[in-house]
Amino acid sequence: MIETIESVRPLLAIICPASGAILILLSGRRPNLREGWTLLASLLQFSLILSMVPMVLAGKRIECNFFTMFPGIDFGFHVDAFGLLFALTSSSLWVLVSFYSIGYMRTLQEHAQTRYYFCFALAIFGAVGVALSGNLVTMYIFYEILTVSTYPLVAHEQTSEALFAGRKYLAYLLTSGCFLLGAIALTYSIAGTTDFAQGGILTVASATHSVLMILFILFLLGFMKAAYIPFHSWLPTAMVAPTPVSALLHAVAVVKAGVFGIVRTVGYVYGIDMMHELGLGIMLASFAAFTMIVASLFAIAEDNLKRRLAYSTISQLSYIIFGVALLSPMGITGAMIHIPFHGFMKITLFLCAGSILVASGKKNISEMAGIGRAMPITMFAFTVGALGMCGLPPVCGFISKWFLGLGTLQANNLIFLAVILISSLLDVIYFFPIIYTAFFGKWEGTESSLAKGKKIKEAPMFMVIPLSITAIFSIIFCFPNPVTDVILDLVRIAICNLRGG
């Protein structure tokens, strides 16, 4: 039995970005102060979340409840190993993206920077709220805050294309919120609670198989932020947003909240045993496998770098869904560790794409011949992220894919093992041409000196340093060290909790 302790730390961690957002808004006419509040809020939040790690590793669960909304439903936070893993990922990457945003927004002299930083802080407020929520209702509130706060970021450019992307974004995600609310209401009517619990809160005796399967489909539709096919098109369209926003969407908050919700549903609402009994694991894994393959095929056809990375994200997110759907310890381990590992690798790729845009104005892969010789740090970091996405050592993506492969063997399903191998091969097909073009391509045309690095140099250090750090950690995670040990220990505790141990 897990020991529960009361602490105000989860509340303080949630308050940090909310307070930061207010101070950012009040400091709109003083850019240095505004950006200072952003950095301070991100550092304080990460420190608070990090301070909860020793307690959770000691087998404790941290609670912070406020009031009862309905009988059996409190508004409050429960910090367990899995939620803490997502919170650590979001808060640590917010620190780096905040530094990066300063270089990006100032160099491009972007408009509405106060609104940008304000909404960014609110988005992290929503993401960490989702991570630390103690029940489905609290999660839903922060889930919708995340949706609304990221709309101005998607539509930031205020062009017709950006406004269309914003409308499409809201159409998909607000609709999904309606499905999620319906799923939560049905869960409450069946179980009498919405709390996350070891082994799940639903039982086979609580409803018919048909009702439980319909409820599961409602949850999947509710977590449309996971961007699985066919509900994925909002994500590539949203690439019109500034690059730090794309990084937020893909690596830090939005899509991670979607897959986090699906894992929560599988492990803490239904439970592993019920998923087996209803046959939902095979269904979900097949669905994820389809997305993994098809999204990679879409990525191959894309010339725009950010859109190719967007389709890569759609595929990689489904690895997380796929892993938990295997319902095997190794598969779930691969799914959970892929949340932070993918976060660091994918944010590296998007930060590199933004640096290329700032330094050269180039958005399409076909225009980037020789750019690796002009921007070696950026492109080496990009190469690290790409190798990790392909599951190649010495980058941490190799570790998560290794566990996923072992998970398919534990589940006695060689077809799913073949899916992982094929998907990884497709990753190579759409990532390696980018690397080859950047380092070995020859610039053709009047600007041939571009390939020699005469007209392009590295982006500002505020941008290069964060992407270098994320690339370095993407390698560090692949080897035994205290940071990797913490991640693996949190995952081990989370899986033990799933089994009710």
Confidence bin at 231 (pLDDT 50/70/90): very high
Is residue 255 helix, strand or coil? Answer: helix
Is 395 a residue whose pLDDT tops 80? yes
Written as six digits, the tokens of 500 are 């009710």
Q: Evaluate whether 41 touches 121 at the Cβ level (below 8 Å).
A: yes
**Rg of the chain over all Cα atoms, to the nearest angstrom:** 22
Mean pLDDT of all residues belonging to the chain = 92
270 close to 281: Cβ distance less than 8 angstroms: no
- Give whole-number Cα distances, 57 to 62, 92, 334, in Å: 11, 19, 19
Quote the pLDDT of residue 445.
Answer: 40
Q: Where are the domains of the chain?
A: 279-487
Q: Is the pLDDT of residue 2 over 80?
A: no
CB contact at 8 A, 31 and 103: no
Give the span between the Cα atoms of 168 and 175, in whole angstroms.
11
Helical residues (DSSP H) of 248-393, grouped into ranges: 254-264, 272-278, 280-301, 305-325, 329-360, 371-374, 376-389
| More confident site: 101 or 250 | 101
> Residue 386 in 3-state DSSP?
helix
179 vs 248, residue with greater confidence: 179
Confidence of residue 312 (pLDDT cuts 50, 70, 90): very high
Q: Is the pLDDT of residue 69 over 80?
A: yes
CB 429 within 8 A of CB 297: no
**pLDDT reading at 501 higher than 90:** no
- Which pLDDT score is estimated for 443? 61
214-223 core/surface letters (b: 16 or more CB in 10 A; e: else): ebbebbbbbb
Question: What residues have CB less than 8 Å from 41, skipping those under 6 apart?
Answer: 16, 17, 19, 20, 21, 23, 121
Report whether 38 contacts 98 (CB < 8 A): yes
Q: Would you state the structure tokens that stand for residue 254, as one six-digit string?
A: 């939005």
Mean pLDDT across 176-202: 93
Mean pLDDT across 44-62 = 95
For the stretch 433-447, pLDDT in tens is: 999 999 998 765 434
State the amino acid at position 179 in one-letter form: F
Average pLDDT over residues 341-366: 94
Buried b (16+ CB within 10 A) or exposed e, 157-179: beeeebeebbebbbebbeebbeb
Secondary structure class of 350 (helix, strand, coil): helix
Task: Give which of 495, 292, 473 is closest to 397, Cα–Cα.
Answer: 473
pLDDT digits (tens, 9 = 90+) for 355-394: 999 999 999 999 999 999 999 999 999 999 999 999 999 9
Q: Between the CA of residue 361 and those of 108, 170, 273, 358, 367, what are the distances in Å?
A: 10, 29, 52, 6, 10
CA distance 337 to 322: 13
Tokens of 147: 């949706």
Contact 86, 131 (CB under 8 A): yes
> How many CB atoms are located within 10 Å of the residue 236 CB?
23
Q: For residue 73, what pLDDT is reported?
A: 87
Q: How much is the pLDDT for 249? A: 75
Under the banding of pLDDT at 50, 70 and 90, the label for residue 448 is very low
Q: Provide the pLDDT for residue 82.
A: 95
pTM, to two decimals? 0.94
